[in-house]
Amino acid sequence: MRKASVKYLNMNNGWYYVRLAVPKSMRSSFGGRREIQRSLKTREYDKAILLLGRVVDQIKQEIFAGDDVEEVTIADVMQDAEAIETTYSYMEVPCGAPVEMSIDLLSSGLHEISETKKLTKLQVARIGGVIEPPALTMRQALERFELDSLDLFMNLAHRERQKKFNKYRAAVTDWEKRMGADLDVLKLDKTTVFNYRTELLKLVSAGELKTDTIRKTIMWLRVIVRHAFDLNGFKESPFEGLKPIKGKRDEVKRETIEEAQVPLIRQELIDADANEEIRAIVAVLENTGARPKEITGLHEDDIHLDAPIPYIRIRANCNRELKNTPSERDIPLVGVALEALKRFPKGFPRYSRNNGSDAFGAAVNKHIEKVAPGKTSYSYRHRLAYLMNLQETIKDTMSDGMLGHAGGMTAYYGKAYPLHIKLEVLKKALPDYAY
């Protein structure tokens, strides 16, 4: 046995553990034991140091509190479980679990009982799982999920971050509307979740909801409930393993701007005296298939007009974040897109700001709606995808590489497609009036 150089920290066979002496006056409460030892369950020194203070405090609390604790709370047992790197399970969990899972949940507690001569009230409560977690509504579970998920969207502006969370909020609102706001998430069972699923399916059958809508609603709720179960030491939420929802062929079709509508929209923008930046952005969207936000957020360093093949670089910058890694790409500039950026070589100052893309969409979509009902500025992206699909010589991976979809980045010998190949793709796909 080799003693480490840090107080209370010891090592045995490469494993770190804590050892504290029990004061003589307290030994009777611990069956005459002179010391308490507790494994830190790690061979790593740095991890042992991080755990040391918390475990020492927990042991001291046991020594000096003994059975004088008036009331053990859920916070107490959760903190006690965390201190020894285990998970607290309320007794209903192991009792209702399959045999193998029950054994797994109870085995560590049984081992601790065999190793401890006298258990404190806190240990009894934790091992026995007798403290019931407080009721947790779906709304409260959502609030905790949002709090713990801030890092997922930290790089986004406040408005964009709220948009990300809004889909979860809408799902919770729908749950409350159909199942009530007071149901305890931690006591949900498969029957309740299936009943909710059935209620949604009835609305699909009645034509009031789309299949894709209920799939996403259930998916967002599954994420929220899984997080709540993980925090409370529950193994599997009742949203897991739900029967897949078969489609009714009612999925929302992505609207594509038709070729006959392209010149009509151009003329509408002229007749309506739309500002020059709007008209230029639309021209770039026509010939690049980029997302509107990717173009409104262009920085002058992203625009390369003097390169052998003029191009724009879609990447994260001070004006915008990207949807995902494959979204970062270079797109050649041809025809009306090239001419538009020659007029705005430094980007679009009116819209290269927080929420600038929303402002652009609000301004341009009302004009598009007049001549192409149901279409938006995003429909230009679907248009280019459609045009590329019409060309048999354009592979799907080429289209993906142009549009920034996953799969298009590594299809060319493990690298993104070079500009000269993308240029050929555009020349094949775009009509004559694109120039």
User: pLDDT tens-digit profile of 209-244?
Assistant: 888 889 999 999 999 999 998 887 777 889 988 877
pLDDT for residue 409: 42
> Sorting pLDDT into bands at 50, 70 and 90, what band is 120?
confident
Q: State the distance between the two ends of the chain, measured CA to CA, in whole angstroms.
A: 81
In this structure, the answer to whether residues 11 and 94 fall within a common structural domain is yes
Residue 302 has pLDDT above 80, yes or no: yes
Q: What is the mean pLDDT of residues 25-37?
A: 76
Note the pTM of the prediction, 2 decimals: 0.54
pLDDT for residue 231: 83
Residue 252 has pLDDT above 60, yes or no: no
- Residues 61 and 122: their CA atoms lie apart, in Å, by 10
In this structure, the answer to whether residues 100 and 177 fall within a common structural domain is no
Q: What is the mean pLDDT of residues 33-46?
A: 87
Q: What is the mean pLDDT of residues 413-428?
A: 82
In this structure, the answer to whether residues 189 and 322 fall within a common structural domain is no
Domain that holds residue 144: 138-231
Between 279 and 1, name the one with better pLDDT: 279
CA-wise closest residue to 377 among 236, 250, 255: 255
Q: What is the mean pLDDT of residues 188-205?
A: 91
In this structure, the answer to whether residues 284 and 430 fall within a common structural domain is yes
Between 345 and 77, name the one with better pLDDT: 345
Q: Classify residue 121: in a domain, yes or no.
A: yes
> Sorting pLDDT into bands at 50, 70 and 90, what band is 200?
very high
Tally of structural domains, the chain: 3
Q: Which of 231, 252, 276 marks a domain boundary?
A: 231
pLDDT for residue 111: 65
In this structure, the answer to whether residues 120 and 162 fall within a common structural domain is no
Q: What is the mean pLDDT of residues 162-166?
A: 86
> Sorting pLDDT into bands at 50, 70 and 90, what band is 384?
very high
Q: Which of 63-72, 212-221, 279-288, 377-386 has the lowest mean pLDDT?
A: 63-72
In this structure, the answer to whether residues 108 and 172 fall within a common structural domain is no
pLDDT for residue 398: 82
In this structure, the answer to whether residues 115 and 24 fall within a common structural domain is yes
